Structures are given as structure tokens and as C-alpha cells.
Structure 1
Amino acid sequence: MTRTSFIFLYAMFLFFRPPVLYAEPVQVHDDLGRLVSLAKPAQRIVTLAPHAVELLFAAGAGDRIVATVSYSDYPASAKKIPRVGSYTAIDVERVLALHPDLVIAWDSGNRKNEIQKLIQLGLTVFINEPHSIADVANSIERLGKLAATEKVADRFVKRFRRHYHRLQKTYQNRRKIRMFYQIWNAPLMTINGQHLISAVMRLCGAENIFKDMPSLSASVSLEAVIAAKPEIIIVGGNKNKNAAWLTAWQAWTTLPAVRHDQLYFINPDLLHRQGPRILDGADIMCRDVEQARAR
């Protein structure tokens, strides 16, 4: 073979061979401020909360999820993802057997000892806990970076932020309405001002009557609700399954919310999950608050 022929064949080899991809290491901080590092973008992800599944799908990485927990049912394709227990009872051995390169944990939902065990066993864990609407968008951006799906994540976040600013512009200067938001019936439970749902209340121009509670969520007395005189009561529940939760308030006619018939349901999945549908829930809440404001 002549030297010219060799050079030609070698050039053809270089031209037609598949490109070698050198994955860059990825680093982000999670919601506890921990540095989360991956040698390459995540390909096998386990999520330990339903909202984390929704965040990953919004970030364009839903097809990387190899396992999740019970109640992870949105979007519809999430129902087919294998389960590794519930968010309060993780099957650690099953998680390990899946060899994930990334685990998304939920700080206020998962048991602390189970999260720590996964970390101690050498798994890379991103701990998520959005407290504000901005945190939801930031979560999607960081998960997009961890999975190298930034373009999809960025497109979603741009739409999400436009939606947020539209609501903010509409309601930020409206008269404040006192709200009681009920998350459970027996015992009667609500959330404090640090909870993400309270951020939605503020966006809509509503004030959480229990914003100063020390815990994110806690039981409250009926007497305390009556004393606070809410102008609107919203129940995070299913209108068909939990109808009694709202009708029980009808007996308390001294409450402004009852007197003016300002009692509403909201699908809890929209607001109780700290995910990308939070603004869909905000649309509904803001509409209800506007009704109460008009009375």
C-alpha cells in the first residue's frame, strides 16, 4: 500500500467512525445546600416522592426514571414506573439493586434515617424541598442540568415564569383576603407561612390565618379557626370523596366564609405536590379568592 493510499484510508476512517463523546462532570447544589456531583449526566434516576417525578418530566428527564414511590401518577406514563415503596417507607435494598446514578429525595417527606442510609451506602442523593414558586422553577433547572436535558428544562421554566408573572401582575395589588387552608379533617390540619401553599396564597392576594405556626403543617383547633374569622375556606381534597370536609363548616354561620358561601375545594395534587402543576392550582385558588373578594 502506498503512503498516499494509507493516508486516504485513515482519513476515511476518521471521517466515518462514530464520534467519541466525552461527558462533562455535573455539579449542582440541592435544597439543603449540599454539593451534588456526577461524573456524567444521570441515566438511571430513582425518585422518592411523587412531585419529584413531575419535576423530572418537566425537565425532560422522565424517561430516565427507573423507579419511584406510590402515588406517583402524573403524567400518565409515570403509572408504569416500578415502585420502591412509599415516600415514608423506602425499600432501600430495592433501590440499591437498581444501581441508580442519582436519587431524588424529599426532605420533609422521606424519613431522615432512610435518606442518610442511602447516602452512607454511596448513592448520589439530591435532596429537594421547594418552599417558594421560584424554588420549583429552580428545581427543574437543576434537575435538567443533572440529566443534561437543559434545553427542555429551560423551555418549560420560561413558560412557567411567564405564567407566574401573569398571575403576579393580575393579583399583587388586590385587597388581602383572610384564608383558612385545610389539608386534613380529623384532626383538623393546616399549613404555616413557610409552606409552598402559602406562597400561592400570597400570589393570589390571600393571607394565611395560621402563617405564624412553627411547623410546616400541624393540627389546629376549631376554636382557633373561628377566632381568626377567615373570609374564605379552601379544602385540599376531592370534591366527591371528601364532601363532608366542606359541608361540616356550614354549621358555623358566624364565620364570614360560611356566611358569604366562600367554601371551595382544590385538587390536592395541584398544590400539595411541590411540582410544576403548582401554578395550575394557583389559577384555581386566585379565581376563588377573587370571588371572595367580590362579596
Structure 2
Amino acid sequence: MRLISICPSNTELLAYLEMLDHLVAVDNYSDWPPSITHLPRVGPDLHIDMDKVEALKPDLVLASLSVPGMERNIAELQKRNIPHLVFAPNSLEDIANDLLLLGEALGQKAKASEVVHRYRSFIEQYRQLADIVAQPAKLYWEWWPKPIFTPGKTNWLSEISQLAGGSNIFADIPQANVQTDWDEVVKRNPSHICLVWVGVQTKKMNKEAVKQRLEAENVDAIRTDRIYILEESLYCRPSPRLLAGLQKLAALLHPSVFPPDDGQDPLLTK
């Protein structure tokens, strides 16, 4: 089967199903696992070159609606009658269901069920540990600084926050993506700040810039220097790799409650 993935999270779904050998091309941003780096690229996820996609004669294209603007890709796939699957997950359970759907479509139903069982078991393990955290952390996630974008209630990062022994300070807003301002962040006074700027490498991010913002001295996270620069790839892509991000975050927030982060993917090593 000839597969094309036009979104990094979908490429990662294939990795967990051990179906990477069937990939004939990926989008420009797919970078995990390293074994896919040699594959032809069909453009950035918001501007896929559909002529290239069509020329490769795929049996199935894995598309997504995880980022606003991806609707154009779906419309073009439909227009050209290219077989495709579309994923639009917001929650951790949505990701599990996407794995099962993809497994069924690719004839890998048993493998998908096995991965999903381990995935759900890991989540339950962390849910039980989070229940014994005495002082949950108040987390502010920053996807982008100007203007500020942050996850709301229906994004998986609100779940990740809870499973790591904390809460997303914007979880009261019933949407996945929230545009707000720094004044509102100051009012909500997070105890920890998680910087995951979309499309920016961690080495190019500077937490000192956050400390220079207006009224920074009134924010607990800044006073106590609990500002974390985190990998976008472990927190902003709807794939099982989010559990590696959860493992890292939980160990940072509550090292006396959660296991230490060994840097390994919990679904691939345990």
C-alpha cells in the first residue's frame, strides 16, 4: 500500500502501527522518527503541493484538520478524487480512536488495539498518580507570544495538565485555541509557565524575554523561575508522543510523585 502523510502527527501514528515502510512521501514538517527523513516532501502542511501528491499515485493520503487552514488540503483531495482519511482530534481519547481507525483501514487492527491498550493504561497510571498530588500546579501554556495563543478546555493539553498533577489556567474557556493577552495571564497568576512556541526550535526560545513583560513580578511562575521551554513536538502534535511529553512534564512538576523522565517513549520502551 502506497501511503502519503501530509501532517506530522499522522506520520507518527504510522510509526506506532509499524507501517512506515509503506510511506512514499510526507509533508515538510514530519521529522519523527528519524527513519523518515529520506522520504520525498510534498510541501508544508498548510500548503501541500497536490500535483506532487497526485503524481505519486497514493493508495491513501492521511490528512488532518488539527491546524486551521488545513481545510484547503481536504477540499483539494476531494476535488482530485484522491483516497484519503481525515483526522481531527482534540482529546487524548480522540487520538486512541484515530489509531484504531487507521489500524482498521490499513489491515493492522490487532496492532492498533495493542498500542491503544498500552496508551490507555499509561494514561490511567498517571491519572491515579495525579489524584495523590497535594498541591496541583497552575499551568499557563504559551503557543505564541504576540498575540498570545494558548490552549483552552477542549485541547489535549488541558488533559495533559491534569494528568501531570496540574490544571490549565485557561481550561474554563470551552474551545481548543484561545487568543488572549498578557494582562489576563497575570490576573490568572500561573505557578508554572510552559513555553511551546509553534514552529520555533527550543534553542531559539528565551525565557528571559518573558521575565521582562509588564507586571512579571506579580506572576508566581516568574518570581520562582518556574518557566519551562518545552519541545513543540511532544506537546503540540496529536499523536501518542504526547505521552512522552506527559512523562517529562509530570516529573518536572512533581518529582516526588511521578517516575523520573528517562527521555524514552513510554509506548516504545515499556
| TM-score range normalised by the length of the shorter chain | 0.7 to 0.9
SS of 1:126's partner is strand
1:225 equivalent in structure 2 = 185
| CA deviation profile, 1:198-254 (whole Å, cap 9, x unmatched) | 221122232222224465324321111111111111111544221x2x222334122
Letter in 1 for 2:222: V
What stretches of structure 1 move > 4 A for 4+ residues in a row?
Answer: none
Q: Does 1:269 align with 2:238?
A: no
Contact 1:232 1:292 in 2 (8 A): no
| CA deviation profile, 1:70-102 (whole Å, cap 9, x unmatched) | 111100111112111110001111111111121
Q: Distance in 2 between matches of 1:185 and 1:82?
A: 33
2:194 equivalent in structure 1 = 234
Letter in 1 for 2:120: R
- Deviation at residue 124 of structure 1 after TM alignment: 2.0
Letter in 1 for 2:40: P
SS of 1:80's partner is coil
Letter in 1 for 2:19: A
With normalisation by structure 2, the TM-score equals 0.85
Q: Distance in 1 between matches of 2:17 and 2:242?
A: 15
1:249 equivalent in structure 2 = 210
Contact 2:42 2:49 in 1 (8 A): yes
Which of 115, 121, 127 lines up with 2:86 in the alignment? Answer: 127
Q: Distance in 1 between matches of 2:174 and 2:120?
A: 30
Equivalent residue runs for 1:273-284 within 5 Å = 273-284=237-248
Q: Distance in 2 between matches of 1:172 and 1:116?
A: 44
Letter in 2 for 1:102: L
Letter in 2 for 1:89: H
2:10 equivalent in structure 1 = 52
Q: Does 1:165 align with 2:111?
A: no
With normalisation by structure 1, the TM-score equals 0.78
SS of 1:57's partner is helix
| CA deviation profile, 1:259-285 (whole Å, cap 9, x unmatched) | 222211221101111112110100112
Q: Does 1:287 align with 2:247?
A: no
Contact 1:266 1:284 in 2 (8 A): no
Q: Distance in 1 between matches of 2:252 and 2:31?
A: 26
- Deviation at residue 150 of structure 1 after TM alignment: 2.5
Contact 1:47 1:104 in 2 (8 A): yes
- Deviation at residue 133 of structure 1 after TM alignment: 1.4
Q: Distance in 1 between matches of 2:203 and 2:76?
A: 40
Contact 2:154 2:174 in 1 (8 A): no
Contact 2:191 2:219 in 1 (8 A): yes
Q: Distance in 2 between matches of 1:55 and 1:161?
A: 15
Q: Does 1:118 align with 2:77?
A: yes
Q: Distance in 1 between matches of 2:65 and 2:127?
A: 28
Cα RMSD between the aligned structures?
Answer: 2.1
Letter in 1 for 2:203: N
Structure 2 stretches of 5 or more lacking a match? 258-270
1:188 equivalent in structure 2 = 148
1:107 equivalent in structure 2 = 65
Contact 1:193 1:212 in 2 (8 A): yes
Q: Does 1:205 align with 2:165?
A: yes
Report which stretch shifted further, 268-277 or 156-165. Answer: 156-165
Q: Distance in 1 between matches of 2:75 and 2:203?
A: 39
Q: Distance in 1 between matches of 2:202 and 2:27?
A: 25
Structure 1 stretches of 5 or more lacking a match? 1-42
- Deviation at residue 292 of structure 1 after TM alignment: 11
Which of 10, 26, 31 lines up with 1:73 in the alignment? Answer: 31
1:97 equivalent in structure 2 = 55
Contact 1:44 1:100 in 2 (8 A): yes
1:172/1:131 Cα in 2 relative to 1: closer, same or farther (>3 Å)? farther
**Identity across the alignment (%):** 27
Contact 1:61 1:144 in 2 (8 A): no
